[in-house]
Amino acid sequence: GIYVCAKCGHELFSSRAKYEHSSPWPAFTETLRGDSVAKREERPGALKVTCGKCGNGLGHEFLNDGPKQGQSRF
């Protein structure tokens, strides 16, 4: 399936990129498209992530915290 922004319906993530993580929120390794989200550095190793269309807050991208070395976790 496709995960979309709750505010505007913009397509964000594919269920193929979802994986189990210890956090209580869904975790993804990548966005659906390059324009799915916008990012800005919040602190070293963590980017603030918003919807690429409407700017709705989506959480963070944690760099090098994915299931494989070098992958990020959204």
Decide: 2 and 15 in contact? Cβ < 8 Å: yes
Q: Above pLDDT 70, what percent of the chain?
A: 100
Task: Give yes or no for residue 14 having a pLDDT over 90.
Answer: yes
Q: What's the rounded mean pLDDT across residues 8-37?
A: 92
**34-61 pLDDT, tens digit each:** 999 999 999 999 999 999 999 999 999 9
Q: Above pLDDT 90, what percent of the chain?
A: 78
How far is residue 56's CA from residue 52's CA, in Å, rounded to a whole number? 8
How far is residue 34's CA from residue 46's CA, in Å, rounded to a whole number? 18
* 3-state secondary structure (DSSP) of residue 1: coil
Domain-by-domain residue ranges, the chain? Answer: 2-62
Report the predicted TM-score, pTM, of the whole model to 2 decimal places: 0.86
> Is the CA virtual torsion 50, 38, 18, 16 positive or negative?
positive
Q: What is the DSSP letter of 22?
A: S
Fold for the domain defined by 2-62:
2.170.150
* pLDDT reported for residue 37: 97
